């Protein structure tokens, strides 16, 4: 969606320009798009007829660069992906939920340390995103501000949840142990 969207919005571009746009937008911080994967995606889309090469340019001693444009089929594909993403309300599974289901045989200190490390990482991401937003603010569009706000709210909610979990952890682990021992007597 990013590659097709950039080509639709900005017009013909070469792979390095698309990759640079992803880096400038810090796409890897708030999406699952990795700037390094864009060249391969561009080639796959060309093979599928979603984009087409216009020409190859060479500037100075740089390697030749192929300029691509979005095709009619690519615009249609972009609309499908965009419409699906705007309507999709699925909550993606988070691996921490499965991990928490299986911590009963771990020492409480280990579980707590892992959760504190995870919380520290989320806090760092939150602070980095706040800093990035503040730096970029004069250049952001209204929609980009909304996207930053969405990401920051999601991170804050995760931080709050981790704080609650860490506060209840001893009681939760003790309750799980008691319930498991009680369940074994019934069998």
pLDDT at 35 over 60: yes
pLDDT at 2 over 80: yes
Q: Which residue has the tokens 């340019």?
A: 57
Are the C-beta atoms of residues 157 and 149 closer than 8 Å to each other? no
- Could you say which of 1.10.10.10, 3.40.630.30, 1.10.3720.10, 1.20.1250.20 is the CATH number of the domain covering 2-87? 1.10.10.10
pLDDT at 186 over 70: no
The alpha helices in 11-107, defined as continuous H runs, are 15-24, 27-30, 38-48, 72-87, 95-101
Q: For 104-137, how does the pLDDT look when each residue is reduced to its tens digit (9 = 90+)?
A: 889 999 999 999 999 999 999 999 999 999 998 9
Integer Cα distance of 150 and 61 in angstroms:
43
**pLDDT of 187:** 47
Q: For 128-183, how does the pLDDT look when each residue is reduced to its tens digit (9 = 90+)?
A: 999 999 998 998 889 989 999 999 999 999 999 999 999 999 999 998 766 666 65
The model's confidence at residue 100, banded by pLDDT at 50, 70 and 90, is very high
Residue of 36 and 167 predicted with greater confidence: 167
**pLDDT of 26:** 77
pTM over 0.85: no
Distance of CA 79 to the CA centre of its chain: 21
């Amino acid at each position: 969606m990013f590659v097709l969207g950039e080509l639709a919005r900005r017009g013909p571009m070469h792979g390095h320009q698309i990759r640079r746009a992803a880096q400038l937008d810090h796409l890897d911080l708030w999406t699952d798009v990795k700037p390094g994967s864009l060249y391969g995606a561009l080639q796959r889309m060309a093979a599928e007829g979603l984009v087409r090469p216009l020409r190859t340019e060479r500037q100075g001693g740089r390697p030749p660069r192929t300029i691509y444009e979005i095709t009619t089929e690519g615009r249609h594909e972009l609309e499908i992906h965009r419409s699906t993403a705007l309507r999709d309300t699925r909550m993606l599974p988070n691996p921490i939920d499965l991990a928490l289901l299986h911590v009963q045989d771990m020492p409480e200190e280990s579980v707590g340390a892992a959760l504190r490390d995870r919380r520290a990482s989320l806090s760092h991401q939150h602070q980095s995103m706040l800093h990035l937003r503040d730096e970029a603010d004069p250049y952001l569009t209204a929609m980009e501000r909304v996207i930053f706000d969405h990401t920051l709210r999601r991170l804050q909610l995760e931080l709050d949840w981790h704080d609650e979990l860490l506060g209840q952890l001893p009681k939760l682990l003790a309750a799980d142990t008691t319930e498991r021992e009680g369940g074994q007597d019934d069998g």
